[in-house]
Amino acid sequence: MAKPILVANWKNNPKSPEEAAELLSALSRKVLLYKKLNLFIAPPYTYLGEARRKIAKFANLASQDIFFSSEGVHTGSVTPDVLKSFGVKLAIIGHSERRILGETNEVVAKKVKTAFASGIVPLVCIGESVRDEEGGHLSFIADQLKLSLEGTRRKEDAERLVIAYEPVWAIGKRASEAITPTDLAEMVIFIKKTLTDIFGREAADTIPVLYGGSVDPTNVESLYKGTGIRGLLVGRASLDSKQLCEIAEALISS
Ligand code: PGA
């Protein structure tokens, strides 16, 4: 079995370089634990250098976004070549907090292609804002996934792609408000079916689907065991070294 994937999305935290250094030092006291998974830390860009130095032995660096081009000059943007120079291996693309600012599926698709061209693994985020009894959220997810992967069809791309299912209604809430394991298992099957439509069965089977939205140590086991996900994308709880450690332990033992 492949190692579980754990992505720590720090968003715009910690608020100072000193706090970031402290958190990174706390994480580095658990090298042996974190080596048992595929851990990615996605700090704000400003802490990439410090993070790179402190996590090299037990985790990989991720970015919270990627600019959609490596060509030309772009004031204020962090282009893939710069990310690569810091050793960034994976880029979170199309997070709902970016989509809400106007990032369209078209832009997401462009960023996915740029990530592939740069040798960075795209972690494509999808998720509905509301659920309805008639299952309208399923067609929303199918469309969002297909459009976000527009122009990405090759088997080699499937082998380097990761999907994160993050229902928007479950982000930033209490653990008890995360999706239920039954609904998650159904959604993973649906996402796999949609990926099969795009890439074919064999290639689709290789694509890991992660879950994100109000994950903390108390719900890891129920979300991970038997639902078909291959790992987690964690926001708030990843800013607390003790909680991240407990999440990692729960993932390993589930
Ligand atoms: P949360 O955030 O774990 O704080 O709900 C998840 C995310 O937005 O990726």
Give 178's contacts (C-beta < 8 A, 6+ positions apart). 170, 213, 214, 215, 219, 223
Confidence of residue 134 (pLDDT cuts 50, 70, 90): confident
> Ligand 1, closest atom to CA 9?
9
Q: What's the pLDDT at 104?
A: 98
Residue 252 is predicted with a pLDDT of 97
Output the average pLDDT for the chain. 96
- What percent of the chain has pLDDT above 70? 100
Task: Please identify, by atom number, the ligand 1 atom nearest to the C-alpha of residue 96.
Answer: 8
pLDDT digits (tens, 9 = 90+) for 150-188: 999 899 999 999 999 999 999 999 999 999 999 999 999
Question: Could you check whether the bond before residue 167 is cis, i.e. omega within 30 degrees of 0?
Answer: no
Ligand 1 pocket by Cβ (under 6 Å): 9, 166, 171-172, 212-215, 233-237
Read off the pLDDT of residues 41-66 as tens digits, 9 standing for 90 and up.
999 999 999 999 999 999 999 999 99
| Alpha-carbon gap, residue 165 to 3, rounded angstroms | 19
CB 194 within 8 A of CB 145: yes
Q: Is 166 a catalytic residue?
A: yes
User: Residue 71's pLDDT is what?
Assistant: 87
Residue 1: pLDDT over 80 = no
Check residue 233 and give left, alpha or beta (phi > 0: left; psi -120 to 50: alpha). Answer: beta
Task: Out of 6, 9, 243, give the residue to mutate to test ligand 1, the one with the largest number of ligand atoms within 8 Å of its CB.
Answer: 9
Answer whether residue 24 shows pLDDT above 90: yes
Rounded distance between C-alpha atoms, residue 57 and residue 17, angstroms: 21
Q: Please say whether the dihedral angle defined by the alpha carbons of residues 14, 122, 142 and 105, taken in this order, is positive or negative.
A: positive
The answer to whether the beta carbons of residues 236 and 218 sit under 8 Å apart is no
Look at residue 135 in the predicted model and tell me its pLDDT: 87
State the pTM of this model: 0.97
Distance 212 CA to ligand 1 centre (A): 6
**Cβ density class 178-197: b for 16+ within 10 Å, e for less:** bbebeebbebbebbbebbee
Reading the block at residue 25, the tokens are 């030092």
Instruction: Work out whether the CA dihedral 55, 19, 252, 95 comes out positive or negative.
Output: negative
Grade residue 98 by pLDDT with cuts at 50, 70 and 90.
Answer: very high
Contact 254, 181 (CB under 8 A): no
Instruction: Tell me what pLDDT residue 133 has.
Output: 82
Decide if 103 is catalytic.
Answer: no
Average pLDDT over residues 144-148: 98
Q: Does residue 6 carry a pLDDT above 90?
A: yes
Q: Which atom of ligand 1 is nearest to the CA of 164?
A: 9
